[in-house]
Amino acid sequence: MPDWLTPPVGGETSLSVSFLLLRLGLGLVFGLLVAGSYRLTQGRLSTRSMSLMATLVLLTILIAMVTLAIGNSVARAFSLVGALSIVRFRTVVEDTRDTAFVIFAVAVGMAVGAGYFEVALVGIPVTTLAAYLFRPGQKVSQEGALERTLNLRIGLGRDVNAVLEPTFRAHLERWELNSIATAKQGAAFNLCYHARLLNSDSAIPLAAELNQLEGVQEVELRC
């Protein structure tokens, strides 16, 4: 057997139940700290955020377990890579910030499983501080709440600006046409606008008035 596949210590080292319970228990504690860091720096929570917090805790424990299983064996590391490669995750992480916290949980779990507790103890407060400094601000969130994507379908032969501009001026601070495409075999246009509402109460009146305009066939207002 090649030397690089041979563990540095002679023979296999058995792990006691108490040792495993201690390491995995610490994995649970550090996982809760990672989830708490996410909660502290996230701001407003949603159902997706609560699910991610549970995932961070479980991921920290599981990575610690995998690290314990690998130990010093490079052969086991390759075996686990091959076994885990069959897993396919189809959930898309919408926020890149959430991806960073997933990597955070993986790193902490590896540190706990390998016994480098100092890495986790120093890394958690430093990462939490960085995440807190760049957390989503209340002002930014309020401003972003007024931004909308407006999709309209309007019949061919209409003067789009003449039909839409009065309603836009009544309910929008600004708007910009992002794309235009034909629909219904060229009998209509699909228009996509990036718009900013005058206030948070303008969304429903805007959609209602657009829907009543002659020639407008469909209205969709998205965040």
Q: What domains are defined for the chain?
A: 3-136 (no CATH), 141-222 (3.30.70.1150)
Pairing of strands 172-183, 188-197: antiparallel
Mean pLDDT of the 61-75 span: 84
Q: How many Cβ atoms are within 10 Å of 19's Cβ, its own excluded?
A: 11
Using the predicted structure, report yes or no on whether residue 98 has a pLDDT greater than 60: yes
Of residues 186 and 211, the one with the higher pLDDT is 211
Sheet holding 188-197, edge to edge: 172-183, 188-197, 147-155, 216-222
pLDDT for res 140: 46
> Between 14 and 83, whose confidence is greater?
14
Tell me which range, 6-20, 59-73, 91-105, 128-142, is most confidently predicted by mean pLDDT. 59-73
The larger pLDDT score, comparing residue 53 to residue 44, is at: 53
Cα–Cα distance between 15 and 69 in angstroms, integer? Answer: 10
Question: pLDDT per residue over 133-180, tens digit each?
Answer: 887 764 444 555 688 889 999 988 878 888 899 999 999 988 999 888
* Maximum alpha-carbon separation in the chain: 84
Note the pLDDT of residue 90: 56
**Cα angle value 15/62/16 (rounded, 5°):** 10
Cα–Cα dist 50/56, whole Å: 10
Instruction: Work out the pLDDT band at 37, boundaries 50, 70, 90.
Output: very high
Q: Best-predicted range by mean pLDDT among 1-10, 44-53, 86-95, 207-216? A: 207-216
* Res. 60: pLDDT tops 90: yes
Distance CA 36, CA 30 (A): 10
